[in-house]
Structure 1
Amino acid sequence: MPRFATLLLATAMSVSALATAAHAKNPMVGGAAMYADKNIVENAVNSKDHTTLVAAVKAAGLADTLQTKGPFTVFAPTNEAFAALPKGAVEDLLKPENKDRLAKILTCHVVAAKAMSSDVMAMVKKDGGSHKVKTVGGCELTLKDKGGKVTVTDENGNVAHVTIADVRQSNGVIHVVDKVLLPKM
């Protein structure tokens, strides 16, 4: 093989290995690979655990926003988290006439910054055990460290546990949570 072809092949293999390594660092979510070079919406649509969240984001008209540059930190509730809401709540929220209410709830899961779990833990430690953060929707969330895992408490005292942390996105990060965070109504 000519020297140039060998060098080209070795370079291509190195680039491929780097790309694979970059993708391998992200955890799988809902049985799907999550890619750091894709945005929040592009990744979320592939998670079988987030079909309700994706439908809600679309119904609230937030899909375009969550595809912008960001950065965003999204506490992404699973389908099970939505299913734990009172019977009929999700169906009611998805109705066109409830678009504003749905948008308020969803934006209370979004912080206008990229905060990896290590960043959150550092803020919690610095603030003496809990750190308050304002969301895009104007809600105040309280972040805590519970045995090395992040918890998120909404304004009503509901506590969500981060079950999958640090899912890197091109426009921020997703932390999967086991509860829907609700604004004070």
Structure 2
Amino acid sequence: MALILIIETSTTICSISLSYKNLLLKNINCYNLYFQHINRLHLFIIKILKSCNFEFLFLDAIAFNNGPGSYTSLKIGLAIAKGISYALNIPLISFQFQPSLKELYNNLLILIKDKYSQYNILYFEKKIFFNINKYYLFKLIKKNIIKTFFLYTRYDLYLELSNILKLKKINYYFINTKYFINIVYYKYKKHLFFKDKLYLKYNYI
């Protein structure tokens, strides 16, 4: 059996999924302007298990996003994942947003924004481009080369961009744990777990 709980807390968006192998059973997301993970994540975990008629003891592994993202948000996600892993003695799996999406999609743009700056990362024809300037970005959009945006970002940036994205009829997605089910299950099958749970290194913006 491979019942896996997946936690995502790297941005203001809080997302968790429950999967069996590579099948999504349930997904819960919270989109807001403020970081609410500490208040909601435990409740979401209890809710998602109850809605699928499972108990904590049924979990075979727990996965979490290892960054990049908000420093405090990542610490909260890691602490909860480690606590459940220790209590149930189940494997701990980590995944990273950018490499995971690169395997799932091509010709997409990721918008990342923290409190002080904004980063654009473009996956185009199996190449990676960082900090794309606006002129080049609009040129790609005009030529209908870029058709998918992943808003790995604070929710306020989405509010700024939503009208433009809808006008250009561009598909846009928020970070969501359901996009990482295949990656997490692959790591579970290959036993790519954290061996040392006492110290976890993570990335942050």
**TM bucket normalised to smaller:** under 0.3
Give TM-score scaled by structure 1 length. 0.28
Bigger Rg, which one = 1
Give TM-score scaled by structure 2 length. 0.26
